[in-house]
Structure 1
Amino acid sequence: MPRQLFKDPTATVITSSNNELLGAMIAKDGQWRFPHNDSIPDKFKTCIIQFEDEYFYKHPGFNPVSIFKALRDNISSGDVKRGGSTLTQQVVRLSRKGQSRTYFEKFKELILATRLEFRASKEKILSYYSSNAPFGGNVVGLDAASWRYFNREANELSWAESATLAVLPNAPSLIYPGKNQERLLTKRNTLLKKLLQNKIIDSLTYDLSIAEELPQKPYALPQIAPHLLQKVTQSYYGKRIKTTLKKSLQEQTNRIVSNHYNQLSQNEIYNIAVLVLDVKTRKVLAYVGNSPTDNEHQKDVDVIDKPRSTGSILKPFLYAAMLDAGDILPNTLVADVPSQFGSYNPENFDKEYDGAVPASRALSRSLNVPAVRLLQEFGLDRFHHYLEALKLKDLKYNANHYGLSLILGGAESNLWDLCKSYAALSSTLNHFNDTSSEYFTNEFCEPTFLADNDIDFGKKTSEKTLFDAASIYLTYESLKNVNRPEGDENWEFFDSSKQIAWKTGTSFGFRDAWAIGTTKDYVIGVWVGNADGEGRPGLVGVQTAAPILFDVFDVLPNSNWFSKPFDEMQEVDICTKSGYRASVNCEEKEQKFIQLSGLKTQPCPYHVLVHLDRNEQYQVNSSCEDLGNITHKTWFVLPPLMEYYYKSKNPFYKSLPQFRSDCLGDNAISMQFIYPKENNSIFLPKDFDGKRNELILKIAHSKPETIVFWYINETFVGTTKDIHDMAIIPKQGKHWITVVDEFGNEAKRQIEISQ
C-alpha cells in the first residue's frame, strides 16, 4: 500500500475569504479534478453509501456476502453482471488505475482494502472516494462534479442532485448528463425510492425530488477573479487556496469594470485594472487584473503588477516628504511661472500659469510646474531616496537617470506597489492615532491575498518609519480637495458622501490614466489604458480612471475621516496670503495646525513694510516727505515674474506703488524674461502669403511704467513702456536678446531661430 494513494495532478482552485469558489484552472492532464477535500456533505454521503455500500460502516474493507452474490450471478450468466466491491475496494481500484479487472486483481484489491481500513478512518476513505471518483467526461471528484453539473457547492445540493451524483461513478462512460437520460433518471429515482423506504427522507421530499430535472450539460466553472487565479497558479499550482477576496465586492467590481469597458472601448481604450486593499489588515479585497476584452487586446495580461508610466501619481509623496522635512508648510506659496531647467521645459496640463499658488492647491490641482520646481528645491537624490524606502520595485535606476521628469511620469511603477504605498501611509496615520502616538517598524510591508497570512506590522516605536503622521494627514487634507469627476463635483454638500483622499495621474502621450484613493479603511487603485502602450485622446486620469474609482468606493461601507494627529502638530499663526508662518508684517493671520517640523520654516518673505505718502499713492522717504506725513504700511509683494501671472488670476492683488519722482535713494528694481526661455530653439512658421510670423518677446518689470530699451545682438530695435512686449522677425541662427531699463538695469537671453 503506497503512502500516497493518489498522485494525479489536480486543478488550481481559489476561494473567497468565506470559502466561496472564485475560479479554477484545469489540471495538467486535462481533468477537472479538484484538490483532495476531507469534507463531504451529509446528503451525498448518505446517498453514496445507500447506493454503493450499505454496510460500509460495518465491514473490514470487503463484504463477503456481496462477493458471494456477485460470483454466483456472474458465473450463472457467464458474464460480469454484478460487482461486489465495497467503497474501500473502489478507492483502492481508483488508486491503481489501469489494472485489468480480473479475479486475481480483485483479490489484490481485497487485501489492500483491509490494509487501508487499518490505516485510514471510514470518513477518510469516503473523502478519498468523493475526491477521486469519475463523474463522466473529464470531471473527477464530487467538488468538480457539483460545479460542472449544478453550478454550485456540493453542500448546497438537494437530495435529488446528491442522488444524481451518487449514481454517476457507477457507470460514468454510459451515464452522462445530456445522454442516456432515461437510464440516469431510473437509477436516480431508484436510489431516492430506497431513501424513502429506509425513512431517510419523507414522502414530500421524495415527491419533490423525483420531480426535479436532470442536468443537461456541464456548466463552465466560475471565473470571478481569473487574473488572481493566474498569479496563485504560479506559486500554488494544483492546490486549493483560500484568498482574502470578498466575493460580493469582487463581483460588483467586475460589473463596474465591465460597464466602463463598454464605454471606453468606443474610444479604443481596452484595458482596465482595479485593486482594493483593506488598510487595517493589508489584505486584498478585490483584484481585477484586466477588463473583459478580447485576445487581440491582451485580455489575459494581469496589468496590476506591470510597470507603467506614473504620470502625476507620485506628487503626493513629494508633498509629504517636503512637509516631513520642514521645507514647506501646507499652504506655502510656490511659484507657478514658465520655467526651464536646462533642456527640460515642463508645462501645466492647461498650458496656463497662476504666478504663485499654495502648495496644497498645487497638489490638489496637480500642477506640473510647481511640482518640478519643488522637486528641484527639495533635491532629486533626496526624493529618490524616499521612493526607494517605499519599495517601488520598478524604480530600477538612479536619480540622475530620471531627472526632474521623475515627478511627472519619467519613472515607472505598478498598481500593486502604488496601492501598497498609499495603504502604508493610511495605516501609519491610523496606528499613530490608535496607539499612544507610536509608529510600527514594518509599516511598509507587502499586502497579501492569502487568507491564512496575517501581516506583522513589527514593533512599536516612537520613531517615524518614513513620513511623520502630521505630514501624511496634511497631505490627505489636500488630496481630499481634488476636484472630483463630472457628476460628483458637489460631494461635500451631501451628508452621506464619502471623504476620500485621492489623486489622478496621466502619462505623457495619454498612454496611462491612474486614480488612487484612500479612506481610513480602504485603498482603491485604478489603471486605465492599452496594454500595448498605445495612447488615445481623452485617456486622462480624471476622465477615465476616476469615475471607476468612485463607483467602487460607492459599493464599500462609509469610513470616518482620519483623526488629526495632534501630538505631531502645533497651532501657530499663519499668514493668510502667503501660507508661511506669519511675520510681524503680515496683516491677515489665522491660527493653523502645522507639522512640528514646519516650525523651522522661515517667516513670510512676501510682506514688507513700505512708506507711503498721506494718500498712499506713492512710496516716499525722508528725502522727499516730512516724517509726520509718511504712512507706514505692510504690503504683499511678489517677484516680478510671479506677479505678472498672479495678477491675471487674482484681481484684488495690488502692485507696490512706485516712488514719487522727487524722492532720492536706491529703489529695488528687477525684471525677468517671460518669453523666450533660456536657450530656446524657436521655429517661426509662415503665413499663407509666405511671410514669416513675428516673434513676440516679453519681460516682467517690477515698475511697469519704466522705459525699457530692446537690443538684438547689440542692435537697438525699440523701446516699451507699461506693457513690455516687443515684436521682431530675426534671421536664422543664434541671437542675444538684451533689455536695459532707464535706470541701467540689464537682462539677457540667448535664442536660436531655426527654419
Structure 2
Amino acid sequence: MRRARLLCALAAGLFLAAFARDRVDIWIDDTRLPPLALASSVQVVDRNSALLRAYTVADGRWRLAVTPDQVDPAFATALMAYEDKRFLSHSGVDPRALTRALAQALWNGRVVSGGSTLTMQVARLLEEGTTGEVGGKLRQMRVAWALERRLTKDEILGLYLMLAPYGGNLEGIRAATLSYFGKEPKRLTPAEIALLVAIPQSPETRRPDRHLARATAARDRVLARAERDGLIDADQARAARTETVPGIRKPFPALAPHLADRARRTDPTAQTHRLTLDRALQTALETLARETLASQGDRLQIALVAADHQTGEILASVGSASFTDEARAGFVDMTQALRSPGSTLKPLVYGLAFDEGLAHPETLLEDRPSDFSGYRPQNFDRQYRGTIRARKALQQSLNIPVVALTEALGPARLLTAMDKAGMRHEMPQGQPGLAIALGGVGVTLQDMVQLYAAIARGGVALPLRWQANARHEEGQRLLATTSAWFVGDILAGLAPPPGAPQNRLAYKTGTSYGHRDAWAIGYDGRHVIGVWMGRPDGTPVPGVFGADLAAPVLFQAFARLKPGLDPQPPAPPATLLVANAQLPQPLQRFRSRSAAFEPAANAPAVAFPPDGAEVELLQGGLLARVEGGTAPFTWLANGAPVALSLRDRAVMLPGLGAGFVTLSVIDATGQSARATVRLR
C-alpha cells in the first residue's frame, strides 16, 4: 500500500513537472520579442569597403552594422571568459551563475555579481530595460530563453556587438573602436580588447573620454582576469597595462561629404553606399586642399577630381576644402558648379581642327589683331606673336588663333562635341558665339575632367562614374585617335610650374574672365586630375591665374596619387610626324573663312598700344610699335601725320593729348593697320 502511494506521488510529481515544463515552453514560445532588425548607421564606403562616412541613426546614436566575423576573434573569447563562460552551452539563462550570484549577495549583504548571461544582456539592451529590479530580471530571463530558441549563438553575439553601450551616443563595438581607437575592430590589441570588455559594465562611469582613471582601472582588472584564465601571458599583460587609454573621442570618418550626401539623395533607402573612391587618395587630396588654402584668403575655395580614364572610375572627389567652413561656402560642391572654364576648352578646339583637316600641330597660324564680325578678342597679355605654329599657339594659350579655328569650325560644332563628351553646359546668352572658345560657357569641374579623360583615351568619351554598382557605359568617339594623340603630345610639352617635377604630364591651365576661376587639368597614361580654384559666389579674385595658382596643386595631386607618371601612349601608325615644309600645301598655313578679306600675311599691325587699350602718355609722347609690314612707316593720329618715313619699328609719337585717338600706320607698300586707344 505504501509503495503504491509512493508510485502515485512520483507519477503525480512527474506529471506536474511535465505540465509545468509544457506551460513554461508555451510561456517562452508566446514571448513577444522586441524588433530584432536593428536600425544602424547609413554608411558610405570606398571601392575596398573602407568607411568614408557614416550617419547617426534617428535618435542621434552611432550604431554601425557589424558581424562577429568582422571583429577580432580574441574579443569574443575575452568577453565570454569575463562575462559568460558558459555562453555557448546554456539556453539563455545560466542557473549556476544565478545561484552563485544569489549566494554571494546573501553572504556579503550586497550584490557582488549579477549572474546575467550575454543573452540576458542582449534582452535588456533590446528592450532598454532595467538591471536591478526583480520584474525586469524575470523579463530578461524570459526574453533570453526566447532569443535562444529563435536565434543562433552567432546571431545573439552579433546583437551584443551592435548594442553594447560604450558611453554617450556610442553603441556597439564598431562605433567604439572607431571613436576611441580610430580603427575598425578587425585587429585589436589585448589592451584594447580589455577596455572594450570593461566599458559596457558601466558605460557612463567608465567612458575614457570623461573618466580616464576609472576606465584604466577597469581595463586593468579585465587584463588581470585574462592573465589568470590563461588568455594572455604575463609579458602580454604587462605590456598591455603600459598602453595609454585614449582620453578623447576621435571624430567619425567624414570623407567625401558632398559625394556621400549625393549618394544618399540618389538612393535614400540604401543602408550601404559603395563608391568608386579610394579612401587613401581621397584623404590625401582633402589634406592637400586644406593645405593649399591655409595661406590664401578666407573666401577662396578649391575643388579636385581624380579619375582613372581607362575605367571611367572617379577615385577622389573634393567638393571643397572644408564642408563646414561657412565663410568659404564649404557646403557647396564645387565639382558640380557651373563655372567658366577659361582656356581649358582650347585643347578640344585644336583637336576638332586636327580632325577636320583645318590644321596640324605644325600648321602656321596668325596671332595678330583681328576682327571676327565685330568680335575683337585680345590675348591675355595684350601682346601678339605674329605667325606661329599651332603647337606653340596652344602651349602659349593664345586667343586669336583659337578663335580663328572656332570660326572655321563653327561654335555649334564645339557644343556638339561637348554633348558627345557627356558634358552639361550652359550658355550665358543663349546662342553660342566665338567667345565659347575662350570660356564663354558654363561647365562643371567633373565634366571638364571627363572631357580630358576622353582625350586621354584616344578620343573616345567614357562617362565618369562614382557609384561602384553603376553600369559601365562606353561613350561616343569624340576625336580621331591621331588628333587626340596630337593634343596630348602638345600638352605634354608644356613646361611644369616652378619646383614641379620635370615630367611629361599633359596639362592645360585656364583663367576665366575677371579672374573668377583658376583651372588646371592634366593626365598621364592612366589617370586624369582636375583642379578648380576661385570663390563660390563668383566674385573676382584679383591676380589669380590658373598657371600660378592651380597648376602647382595639380602636380602635387599627381605626386600624392603615385610616385611617378604612367607613360603616354606612342603615336598611332597613321600619325603624320613631319615639319611644316613637308605638310600638304593646305596644311602649311591656316586660312580662315574670311581669308579673302583679311590683310596679307606680311601686312603691318599696331603691336602697341593694342586696340581698345588705355595707356598713359609719357613725357616725350606716346610709345608706339609696329609689327610686320615693310619699312619705312608713316604714323597718323586721327588722320593727321605725326611721324613720317621712319625705319624704326618703335617710335615716340609727339604732340598727342589726353582722350581717344585712332592711330594708323602705313608701310612702304601702302598696307595699313589701325588701333583706337584712350590716352591719359
TM range (shorter): 0.7 to 0.9
1:31 lines up with 2:61 in the alignment: yes
- Corresponding residue for 2:567? 561
Give the drift of 1:244: 3.7
Correspondence 1:52 to 2:83: yes
Q: Could you tell me which residue of structure 2 aligns to residue 542 of structure 1?
A: 547
Tell me the secondary structure at the aligned position of residue 433 of structure 2. helix
Determine which of 640, 643, 652 is the counterpart of 2:602. Answer: 643
- Offset of residue 150 of structure 1: 2.4
Q: Given the superposition, is the C-alpha separation of residues 696 and 421 from structure 1 closer, same or farther in structure 2, using an over 3 Å criterion? A: closer
1:470 is the counterpart of 2:479: no
Check if 1:327 corresponds to 2:358: yes
Q: CA offset at residue 455 of structure 1? A: 5.7
Deviations 1:352-380 (A, max 9, x none): 11112111211111111211121111101
> Identity, % of aligned pairs?
28
| 1:446 alignment counterpart | 464
What is aligned with 1:192?
223
Query: Residue 116 in 1 paired to residue 147 in 2?
Result: yes
Q: Which residue of 2 aligns with 1:257?
A: 289
Work out whether 1:279 is the aligned partner of 2:309: yes
Would the aligned equivalents of 2:34 and 2:127 in 1 still touch at CA under 8 Å?
no
Matched residue, 1:599: none
**Which of 467, 484, 494 is matched with 1:482 structurally?**
494
C-alpha distance 413-684 of structure 1, shift in aligned 2 (>3 A): closer
Q: Deviations over 1:703-739 (max 9, x none)?
A: 656x989897xx8868955669998979999x99999
CA distance in 1, matches of 2:544, 2:58: 40
Residues 336 and 370, structure 1, Cα contact 8 Å, conserved in 2 = yes
Relative to structure 1, is the Cα distance of residues 711 and 200 closer, same or farther in structure 2, using a 3 angstrom cutoff?
Answer: closer
- The amino acid of 2:408's aligned partner reads E
Q: 1:37 to 1:227 in 2, by over 3 A?
A: farther
Contact 1:73 1:81 in 2 (8 A): yes
**Cα separation, 1, equivalents of 2:87 and 2:544:** 65
Q: 2:29 aligns to what?
A: none
Q: Deviations over 1:306-364 (max 9, x none)?
A: 22221111111111111122221122111211123345321112211111211121111
Q: CA RMSD in A?
A: 4.2
When structure 1 is superposed on structure 2, of 229-238 and 44-53 the one drifting more is 229-238
- Alignment-mate amino acid for residue 581 of structure 1: L
State how far apart, in whole Å, the 2-side matches of 1:145 and 1:731 are. 75
Separation (CA, whole Å) in 2 of partners of 1:110 and 1:74: 19
Alignment of 1:313-392 (within 5 A): 313-392=344-423
1 CA distance for matches of 2:198 and 2:679?
86
Question: Which whole-Å CA distance do the structure 2 matches of 1:243 and 1:682 have between them?
Answer: 51
- 2:518 is aligned to 513
Secondary structure of the residue aligned to 1:286 is strand
In structure 2, do the counterparts of structure 1 residues 730 and 750 end up closer, same or farther at CA, with 3 Å as the change threshold? farther
Contact 1:66–1:85 (8 Å) recurs in 2: yes
Q: Secondary structure at the match of 1:273?
A: strand
Specify the alignment match of 1:295 in structure 2.
326
Which whole-Å CA distance do the structure 1 matches of 2:64 and 2:520 have between them?
38
Give unpaired runs (5+ residues) of structure 2: 1-31, 592-596
- Matched residue of 1:401: which SS? coil
Alpha-carbon distance in structure 1 between the residues aligned to 2:109 and 2:369: 100
Considering fraction of residues, name the structure with more helix: 2
Q: How many residues align?
A: 637
State whether residues 275 and 284 of structure 1, in contact with CA within 8 Å, keep that contact through their aligned partners in structure 2: yes
Find the partner of 1:170 among 195, 201, 205.
201
Q: Is the 8 A contact 2:320 2:332 kept in 1?
A: yes
> What is the rounded CA distance, in whole Å, between the counterparts of 2:642 and 2:372 in structure 1?
30
In 1, the alpha carbon distance for the partners of 2:317 and 2:144 equals: 46
| Structure 1 residues 448-477: Cα deviation after superposition (integer angstroms, max 9, x where no partner) | 2x4x43762449xxxx72212111100001
Query: What secondary structure is seen at the aligned counterpart in 2 of 1:335?
Result: strand
Go from structure 1 to structure 2 and tell me whether the alpha carbon gap of 1:387 and 1:475 turns closer, same or farther (over 3 Å shift).
same
> What is the identity, as a one-letter code, of the residue corresponding to 1:562?
Q
Q: Counterpart of 1:456 in structure 2: which amino acid?
A: H
Q: Distance in 2 between matches of 1:263 and 1:325?
A: 46
Equivalent runs, 1:488-507 vs 2, <5 Å: 488=500, 497-507=502-512
- Where 2:414 maps in the other structure, the secondary structure is helix
Given that 2:420 and 2:477 are in contact with CA atoms closer than 8 Å, whether structure 1 keeps it comes out as: no
Q: Give 1:543's aligned amino acid.
A: D
* Residues in 2 aligned to 1:201 and 1:740: alpha-carbon distance in whole angstroms: 98
In structure 2, what is the Cα distance between the partners aligned to 1:709 and 1:425? 48
What SS class does the counterpart of residue 549 from structure 1 fall into?
A: helix
Mapped partners of 1:359, 1:40: distance in 2: 61
Q: Give the equivalent residue in structure 2 for 1:624.
A: none
Letter matched to residue 498 of structure 1:
N
Map Cα deviations across residues 79-134 of structure 1 (whole Å, 9 max, x no partner).
87653432223223322236797545544444443443344322222121111211
Q: 1 CA distance for matches of 2:572 and 2:491?
A: 19
Aligned partners of 2:525 and 2:569 also within 8 Å: no
Counterpart-to-counterpart distance in 2, 1:719 and 1:197: 106
Q: Deviations over 1:192-221 (max 9, x none)?
A: 233223322222212222343433332333
Do 1:336 and 1:369's aligned partners in 2 also have CA atoms closer than 8 Å?
yes
Evaluate the alpha carbon distance shift between residue 398 and residue 49 of structure 1 in structure 2; reply closer, same or farther with a 3 A threshold: same
Task: Give secondary structure in 2 for the equivalent of 1:502.
Answer: strand
The 3-state SS of whatever aligns with 1:264 is coil
Shift of 1:260: 2.7
Q: Which residue of 2 aligns with 1:133?
A: 164
1:270 equivalent to 2:276? Answer: no
Normalising by structure 1, we get a TM-score of 0.73
Please give the alpha-carbon distance, in whole angstroms, between the structure 2 residues aligned to 1:46 and 1:523. Answer: 48
Matched residue, 1:657:
none
Matched residue of 1:527: which SS? strand
Match in the other structure for 1:522: 527
Residue of structure 2 in register with 1:581 after alignment: 583
Contact 1:384 1:399 in 2 (8 A): no
Alpha-carbon contact 1:526-1:549 (below 8 Å) kept: yes
* Aligned residue type for 1:446: L
Task: Please give the TM-score of this superposition, normalised by the length of structure 2.
Answer: 0.80
Instruction: Report the residue type matching 1:566 in the other structure.
Output: P
Indicate conservation of the 8 Å contact 1:35/1:240, yes or no: no
In structure 2, distance between residues paired with 1:483 and 1:687: 36
> Match of 1:453, as an amino acid?
N
* Superposition deviation, residue 478 in structure 1: 0.6
Q: 1:710 to 1:507 in 2, by over 3 A?
A: closer
Amino acid at match of 2:73: D
> Would you say the 8 A contact 1:40–1:127 is kept in 2?
no
